[in-house]
Amino acid sequence: MIPGEFEQVVMPAILRVGKDAYGVTIRAEIANRTGRQISPGALYTTLDRLEEKDWLSSRMGDPTPERGGRAKRYYEVTASGLKCVSEAQRAFRNLVEGLAIIGASYA
């Protein structure tokens, strides 16, 4: 099963952030890497959906004062999620392989 376009952005962002992946850091990573300012609603609905598909798992952290005493929910890509990301990446590579894009050729 190939993940949707936005799901293909969210899962690698979580992998990049690593153990500290929660709403704020995931959003920041996406903004830094892609330049996309995504809305909170879009992010949380996608995170929920990915969890339902078993591509993500989550756990609650400890409450912190800068969040008004609220806990963070940390996300992690599961083994099946990782498989989906690599399949999507492979499909993309197959699609663009040999094409001259932005002055460079994909190997």
Partner 1 sequence: MLKISAAESFLSLFMTRDRASAVIGDLVEQRRASLLNILGTGASLFLRSARAQPMRLSLAAGLGGILWLVAGSIADILIRLGFRSHHYGDIYGVISWSIAIPALVGYVIARFTKNQEITGCMGFVIVLAFSTFGEAVTGGYAWTAQFLRSMVGFDFGVPAFILLVSGALTRNRALRRHMTHNC
Shortest distance (Å) from residue 104 CB to partner 1: 28
Amino acid identity at 32: N
| One residue of 2, 31, 33, 40 binding partner 1 per CB under 8 A | 40
CB–CB of 29/20 below 8 Å? no
The span from the CA of 65 to the CA of 36, in Å, is 29
The closest of 9, 16, 5 to 76, measured between CA atoms, is 16
Q: How is 78-106 classified by DSSP, letter by letter? A: -HHHHHHHHHHHHHHHHHHTT-EETTEE-
Shortest distance (Å) from residue 40 CB to partner 1: 5
* Residue 67 in the binding site for partner 1 (CB under 8 A): yes
* Residue 66 in the binding site for partner 1 (CB under 8 A): yes
* Residue 4 in the binding site for partner 1 (CB under 8 A): no
| One residue of 20, 48, 87, 97 binding partner 1 per CB under 8 A | 48
Residues that bind partner 1 (CB under 8 A): 22-24, 27, 39-42, 44-45, 48-49, 52, 60, 64, 66-68, 70-73
